[in-house]
Amino acid sequence: MFGFIKRSLSKTAEAIKSIVPKKKLSFTKEEIEEILLEADVEYGLVEIILNEIYQNKVTRDILRSKLLATLAHTTYEEPKFTAPFVELIVGVNGAGKTTTISKLAARYKSEGKKVILGAGDTFRAAAIEQLTLWAKKLDIPIIASKQGHDSSAVAYDTIDSAKSKGFDHVIIDTAGRLHTQTNLANELKKIHRICDKAHSGAPHRTILIIDGTQGNSAIAQAKAFNEMVGIDGIIITKLDGTAKGGSVFSIAYALELPILYVGTGEQPENLTPFDKYEFVDGLLDVIYTEE
């Protein structure tokens, strides 16, 4: 876990060191403001954090409590369900949906679970091909059709197959961009309805994939998806490739949604459950010296 934290925050650490080359036991509020902004914590949230600090000397313990408070909603409780557990994966193209689906599938398979994939992004032929290649590589079955086919029909067929063959997990991909946001919203809502028709209560979890390199600009995008279809949790990808690690605090605070996992590479094993304590301490280790 700690190796993951070091990797995911490495570029953020470099950005912080450019303005605070030497660790200290405490910093002024002005210095903390500069550090948090450099890490891409959203300005409004930085102001909220600083307004709740009454000492001018900000120690590690003080900042730790404030940063953890911004992550108050990151805990996730799995809903009650009857197998198979159906997950719908949403997000814009390029955020890493297909790769993340393969990582989730590999994780479940390593736990001894039977997994099936649904190539529901029928808007792009490349998405179907990429997910099919991952399914073959992981030796996991997939339900796929041709580009332009009804994505909700793919979702139905995937769930139906999972139920008849005793699968534990169903992971369904969706389109990230249609001609208009209205089209996308209508398609996602239809898939939700069809999932429930195929298996009462499904999808049991709708996960939004956010590109960590986008930083705070991902917040508006996430709010739009949440309004469209209702998000149960977030996975942040590519965090190891950005100096915007602080945006995790802004995203969690603004959306009040659980962060389920963080992706730190292309391989199936590069998906780590998000631990707010590990994440906050990993960041503070860059800033503060030990007493």
pLDDT of the residue at 69: 94
- 186-198 tens-digit pLDDT: 999 999 999 999 9
Q: How far apart are CA 174 and CA 120, in angstroms?
A: 5
Q: What is the mean pLDDT of residues 137-156?
A: 93
Mean pLDDT of the chain: 89
pLDDT at 178 over 70: no
pLDDT at 202 over 50: yes
**H-helix segments, the chain:** 2-8, 10-19, 29-38, 43-51, 60-70, 97-110, 125-138, 151-165, 181-198, 218-229, 247-255, 276-287
Pairing of strands 142-143, 115-118: parallel
- 29-40 tens-digit pLDDT: 999 999 999 888
The residue with greater pLDDT, 1 or 162, is 162
Cis check: omega of the bond before 84, within 30 degrees of 0: yes
Share of the chain above pLDDT 90, in %: 54
pLDDT of the residue at 190: 95
Q: What is the mean pLDDT of residues 156-184?
A: 91
Q: What is the mean pLDDT of residues 259-281?
A: 85
pLDDT at 289 over 70: yes
Q: How far apart are CA 247 and CA 188, in angstroms?
A: 27
CB 248 within 8 A of CB 40: no
Q: What is the mean pLDDT of residues 178-206?
A: 90
pLDDT of the residue at 19: 84
- 242-259 tens-digit pLDDT: 777 888 888 889 888 899
pLDDT at 1 over 50: no
pLDDT at 2 over 60: no
Cross-strand partners of 85: 169
- 70-111 tens-digit pLDDT: 998 877 777 888 999 999 999 988 888 999 999 999 999 999
Q: What is the mean pLDDT of residues 127-152?
A: 93
pLDDT at 234 over 60: yes
Cis check: omega of the bond before 273, within 30 degrees of 0: no
Q: How far apart are CA 286 and CA 14, in angstroms?
A: 9
79: Cα within 13 Å, side-chain hemisphere:
15
**Other CB atoms within 10 Å distance of the CB of residue 170:** 29
Q: What is the mean pLDDT of residues 262-287?
A: 85
The residue with greater pLDDT, 214 or 74, is 214
pLDDT of the residue at 110: 94
Q: How far apart are CA 134 and CA 75, in angstroms?
A: 29
Q: How far apart are CA 201 and CA 13, in angstroms?
A: 43
